[in-house]
Amino acid sequence: MTICSSRAELCMRRDALAGINKEMLYNYFGDKRLLFETVLTKELD
């Protein structure tokens, strides 16, 4: 694994591995807050 030059590059690599992109995330969750709340809720349950 190489060191990513930026946070954006790291996110793009993560999205590629997951088979998704930022647009897909926002279409599904609506915004960062709802995404964060969903992930946090699932982790705390």
What is the pLDDT tens value at each position of the chain, 45 positions in all? Answer: 456 578 888 888 888 888 888 888 889 889 889 988 998 999 998
Q: Where are the domains of the chain?
A: 7-44
38 within 8 A of 29, measured Cβ to Cβ: yes
Phi and psi at 33, nearest 5°, equal -60, -45
Q: What is the pLDDT of residue 1?
A: 47
Q: What is the pLDDT of residue 2?
A: 54
Q: What is the pLDDT of residue 38?
A: 92
Q: What is the pLDDT of residue 19?
A: 87
22 within 8 A of 11, measured Cβ to Cβ: yes
The answer to whether the predicted template modeling score (pTM) of the entire model surpasses 0.85 is: no
